[in-house]
């Protein structure tokens, strides 16, 4: 079966990390676009106050909670794997192994386990779509968040492999790439940030257009162009960033 496009209007969606930040923006945009039902996943479902959504207790590092969510969301047609963690650790910093382990638990294995749990449900409902929130850190090694970059490189592999494997059941798997977003996750980072609502709008447009890779903000487009046209220069820029950080300490 060929993976097909889908309409947001009338879909049944599950958003992970839906209680704040980008996840909350996804919920609001899905409601505005006419989604028939939205399951809002959060570790603390009492944090979900919108009466138009269905709160789901969901820590994506907890296999039992994933299984329970799958049992409760059997009508799903759109899975948005938004939940993630960023711990701001350079690769050789003290505690970087612990930071990387946590980031892999959430960003890589959490995403993988969600895809594995919900792929059969999507197949039963006609194929549907999966959105995995990736990052420009999936393509480059940002020195100040290198442990996070490692997890996002790995999450990109999960996304691409799932796309290949799930195409035959009609499920489209979309990778969404962004720079920093103006949310709590990036609050401590001094850099230009994109509006969550703008990022979500580009991603949902990509879902409806059947795009596999959505460059959801200007930083993603600029970084991808630099990676393709001048990868050596891009790596040199990362070195400059690290040297400046060392100088300022």
With bands split at pLDDT 50, 70 and 90, how would you rate the model's confidence at 244? confident
Q: For residue 190, what pLDDT is reported?
A: 62
Helices within 73-217 (DSSP H only): 96-103, 111-124, 146-166, 196-209
Query: Are 60 and 53 spatial neighbours (Cβ–Cβ below 8 Å)?
Result: no
The pLDDT of residue 75 is above 60: yes
Kind and range of the H or E run holding 178: none
| Average of per-residue pLDDT across 195-204 | 94
The CATH H-level (homologous superfamily) assignment of domain 12-219 is: NAD(P)-binding Rossmann-like Domain (3.40.50.720)
- Is the pLDDT at 67 greater than 80? The verdict is yes
Whether the per-residue pLDDT at 21 is higher than 70: the answer is yes
- pLDDT, residue 1, reads 64
Predicted local confidence at residue 181, as pLDDT:
82
Asked if pLDDT for residue 130 goes beyond 70, the answer is: yes
Where are the chain's structural domains? 12-219
Q: What is the mean pLDDT of the chain?
A: 93
Distance from C-alpha of 57 to C-alpha of 35, rounded to nearest angstrom: 20
Q: For the whole model, what pTM was predicted? A: 0.93
What's the token pair of residue 11? Answer: 């879909």
Is the pLDDT confidence value at 89 over 70?
Answer: yes
**pLDDT tier for residue 31 given thresholds of 50, 70 and 90:** very high
Cβ atoms of residues 144 and 245 within 8 Å:
yes
As a whole number, mean pLDDT of residues 2-13 equals 86
Structure tokens belonging to residue 44:
């603390």
User: What pLDDT shows up at residue 58?
Assistant: 98
Interval 86-102 mean pLDDT:
95
> pLDDT for 133-190, tens place per residue?
999 999 999 899 999 999 999 999 999 999 999 999 999 999 999 987 876 665 565 6
């Amino acid at each position: 079966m060929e993976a097909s496009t889908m309409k947001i209007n009338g879909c049944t969606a599950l958003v992970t990390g839906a209680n704040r930040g980008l996840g909350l923006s996804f919920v609001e945009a899905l409601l505005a676009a006419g989604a028939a039902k939205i399951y809002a996943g959060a570790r603390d479902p009492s944090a979900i106050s919108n009466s138009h959504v269905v709160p789901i207790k969901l820590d994506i590092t907890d296999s039992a909670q994933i299984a329970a969510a799958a049992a409760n969301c059997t009508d799903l047609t759109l899975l948005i794997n938004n939940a993630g963690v960023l711990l701001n650790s350079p690769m050789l910093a003290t505690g970087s192994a612990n930071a990387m382990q946590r980031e892999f638990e959430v960003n890589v294995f959490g995403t993988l386990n969600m895809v594995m749990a919900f792929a059969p449900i999507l197949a039963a409902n006609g194929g549907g779509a999966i959105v995995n929130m990736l990052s420009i850190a999936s393509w480059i090694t940002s020195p100040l968040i290198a442990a996070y970059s490692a997890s996002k490189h790995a999450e990109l592999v999960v996304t691409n492999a799932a796309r290949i494997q799930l195409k035959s059941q009609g499920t489209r798997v979309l990778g969404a790439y962004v720079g920093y977003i103006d949310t709590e996750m990036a609050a401590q980072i001094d850099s230009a940030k994109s509006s969550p609502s703008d990022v979500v709008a580009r991603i949902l447009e990509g879902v409806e257009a059947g795009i596999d890779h959505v460059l959801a903000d200007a930083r993603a487009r600029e970084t991808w162009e630099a990676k393709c046209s001048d990868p050596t220069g891009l790596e040199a820029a990362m070195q400059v960033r690290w040297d400046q950080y060392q100088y300022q300490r």
